[in-house]
Amino acid sequence: MIRMNSEASGRGLGLLLTVGMLSCCLLTTAAFVGDLHASVDETEQAAAPLPRPRDMSADSLDEIDKRLQPEIAVLWDPAQPTDARKAAYEAVKPVIAELLENADHRLTAQKLHRRVSLIGGVLGAAEAKLDVIRPSTFQESVRESARELDRNLRRIRNGSLWVRYLELPPLQREGTSVEQLQAFRDLASVTDEMDEAQREFVSRADIQELNKLVEAAISEMTRPLDDSALREELSVQLDRLVRGVLQDEVLPVSTSTAEARSAWRIIRAQFPSAADVLRPILNDSCLGHNVHVAVSESLVSRLIAASREESGKISERAMGATITGDQQTSVTVDAEFLPSDDSARLNIFLQGKTHTETVARKSPATVFSEGDHSFRVSREVVFGGPQIELGRTQFSADINNRVTNFRTDYDGRLFGRMVRREAGRRISGSQSETDAETRKQLQADLVPRFENEVGGPFNELNAVLESLRGRGLGPDQIDARSTDSGMSLSLRSIGTDYLGGSVPPTAISAGEGASVQLHQSMFNLLLGGLGLQGRVVDQNELTGEIEKALGEMLGREISLNRNAAPAASNESDEDAADERQTFFVFSETDPLRVQFADGEVSVLIQTGIRQEGREELAVHTIVIPIEVKLTEAGIQLTPQRIRVLSAPITVANQLRKVIGSRISEQQLSATLDLNTAEGGEAKTLTVTDLQLADGWLTISVR
């Protein structure tokens, strides 16, 4: 009787939360279509004592300010005396403060500030008080976590077999030995010898959470006890931490991030005073949120808003009467944000009016009526917890039924007047019952459909979140807030062995649309879950494999196909031989990663190449920078010079040739079409800004 278009609510918000992630995958797969040639690499600069990103080379620093390089050289060299490094740290801080006030160097200064603050924090943490936590603390945490994991596993099919395989029973008793802890750690560590099913199961978030506690307990129970040895142990862990974080900025690899996370767990567990010094610095530099979303109420209202005017026939039985007639209904759907400091609250509502003209027949009377009713149905949606919460549906209606006439079967006959008076009395007396029945019927028509159309999309998003958490990819921290004009969300997903985001180079605001900021760490976490490790994939099937893996992770069909036409080729016959069937032989670790910097997304592929009739090329790291620009025509993707790291020049040239012949400049549409219900108004989102800087992808839409 009354139709709604509220389903667009979930689709629109879901798109805003996922468009950035899929954009990265589009940029990633853009590296494998078309035609481009690249030049030869120059020799890579020798590594410094601590890893130094390319933008911190001596020449780069001298171009910014000649006071930087001498102090940075000392600060980055652990072999220098501690006092000298502290002096360098104090000397470089005011220089960076000056640069932060210079618009031309602000972004560079922000990166320097983050990295220098990290090393300064490590120098301070190295001298923190040694208030070491005793082993019993960790053993108790391991025991509680092992009991919870035992309960979780026994709820699933064949779970008891996994309980025995992981040797959980000894961990649930007091006095667990180091050997028993080490046995669990070895069994719970993902290895190359495991098949895919074993890897997936052992990677469960609850197993790896216990593994973290076990690792901390082992470290605590085996640590030296005298102060000098403890200082040495703290120094070792601080070095692991800082090298892992800096290496992730030079070249993202999971081995370095796993080292950093492992060191941080040990520092937190064993050296709480040192951890207190480092915590705010790490939150700003590498363990912060890696997704930020700001959405305006005006945009959500535009995506959700819908109106309908419909007419239909009425034919039903109510209160013992047969009712027929006509109905005209007008409905609007909209949304409003509700102010909240600890969550983001959105109220989706449907309201409208209906006019009815009916004839009710119940012997011996026939009643002619008109009705003008207004109604409102609403449901609150709350963001900020592990799941998107849906409140109870609220329904209200203002019922106005009017009897315009009635007749009886005895009109004009003996006793007709008496029957008519009695019928009129009964009709008048049943008015409240009639109104109640009308309200009940309206509620039955409106509420179930509204709940399904509003709840369905958000339930799908909850299923996606649950799927990601099951794979250790879901958010572990969510901060949300809303005002009466919009909402903002900040999420962190870092899994077990990955890092998180830094302070973004610029803050975002929704304006009249929405903005999404995504850190490269979020993408690398997701890319690590695609399952390409150690696989041999036909280059023509690579996009399909990524689509399939993303679909499994997100619980929905994903399409990355842009139907790009291959670029024209002027290659010689010898060069054209590279068009033969090609297979990527991916590395066992980090087969696919990305970096965002200075208007480019760099796709890092660790792969070898296998072609029929040619010698297989060994696995190397291939860096494909892709310049990304928002133009009037759309989003322009322009591949830049390909680099091959740590490969002989002849091998590097071959790899460049094979990869370079399969990439081309791409043009993506800046307009996103949203599907609507049949007959509904077409809705679009247009990208108005796109920035890549300091590890962050920022997209604004209206």
**Which tokens is 386 given?**
């592990």
pLDDT, position 379? 94
pLDDT, position 132? 67
- What contacts 24+ positions apart, CB below 8 Å, involve 539-547? 539/32, 539/582, 539/583, 539/584, 539/662, 540/581, 542/29, 542/32, 542/584, 543/29, 543/32, 546/25, 546/28, 546/29
pLDDT, position 141? 83
> Under a CB-based contact definition with an 8 Å cutoff, are residues 54 and 44 in contact?
no
Beta-bridge partners for 312:
327
* Domains of the chain and CATH, by start: 13-39+495-545+563-701 (no CATH), 293-465 (3.15.10)
For the stretch 433-460, pLDDT in tens is 888 888 998 999 899 989 998 888 888 8
> b/e for 89-108, b at 16 or more Cβ within 10 A?
beebeebbeebbeeeebebb
pLDDT, position 572? 43
Cis peptide before 364 (omega within 30 of 0): yes
Q: Average pLDDT, whole number, for the chain?
A: 83
User: Predicted confidence band at 142 (pLDDT cuts at 50, 70, 90)?
Assistant: confident
Q: What SS3 class is residue 627?
A: strand
Sign of CA dihedral 548, 463, 335, 376: positive
User: Predicted confidence band at 543 (pLDDT cuts at 50, 70, 90)?
Assistant: confident
- Dist CA 289 CA 291 (whole Å): 6
Greater confidence (94 vs 577) lies with: 94
Phi, psi of 212 (to 5 degrees): -60, -45
Sign of CA dihedral 531, 535, 540, 541: negative
- Dist CA 29 CA 8 (whole Å): 29
pLDDT at 31 over 50: no
> b/e for 34-73, b at 16 or more Cβ within 10 A?
bbbebeebeeeeeebebbbbebbeeeebeebbeebbebbb
pLDDT, position 203? 85
Beta-bridge partners for 407:
366
Other Cβ atoms less than 10 A from the Cβ of 675: the count is: 12
pLDDT at 366 over 60: yes
pLDDT at 20 over 50: no
DSSP 8-state code for residue 202: H
pLDDT, position 560? 63
Give Cβ neighbours of residue 571 (< 8 Å, ≥ 6 apart): 578, 661
For the stretch 598-627, pLDDT in tens is 999 988 889 998 988 888 888 999 998 989
Burial of 471 from C-beta contacts in 10 A (0-12 / 13-18 / 19+)? middle
pLDDT, position 553? 64
For the stretch 623-650, pLDDT in tens is 989 899 999 999 998 988 899 988 888 8
- DSSP H helical ranges for 407-519: 416-429, 431-470
For the stretch 470-485, pLDDT in tens is 777 889 899 999 999 9
pLDDT, position 649? 87
Query: Following DSSP, what letter does each residue of 336-396 receive, concatenated?
Result: EEE-BSSSEEEEEEEEEEEEEEEEEEETTEEEEEEEEEEEEEEEEEEESSSS-EE---EEE
pLDDT, position 274? 94
pLDDT, position 362? 86
Phi, psi of 379 (to 5 degrees): -150, 130
pLDDT, position 28? 46
Q: What SS3 class is residue 265?
A: helix
Name the nearest CA neighbour of 314 among 361, 356, 370, 353. Answer: 356
> Under a CB-based contact definition with an 8 Å cutoff, are residues 662 and 648 in contact?
no
pLDDT, position 314? 85
User: Predicted confidence band at 133 (pLDDT cuts at 50, 70, 90)?
Assistant: low
> b/e for 392-416, b at 16 or more Cβ within 10 A?
ebebebebebeeeebebebeeeeee
pLDDT, position 556? 64
pTM of this structure = 0.79
Give Cβ neighbours of residue 3 (< 8 Å, ≥ 6 apart): 308, 310, 331, 449
- Which H or E element spans position 654? helix 649-660
Phi, psi of 631 (to 5 degrees): -120, 175
pLDDT at 165 over 80: yes
Q: Which residue has the tokens 């080292």?
A: 259
pLDDT, position 241? 96
Query: Following DSSP, what letter does each residue of 147-195 receive, concatenated?
Result: HHHHHHHHTSTTHHHHHHHTT-GGGGSSS--HHHHHHHHHHTS--TTS-
- Dist CA 302 CA 590 (whole Å): 41
- Dist CA 54 CA 361 (whole Å): 86
Alpha carbon separation from 292 to 75, 193, 698 (Å, rounded):
32, 38, 9
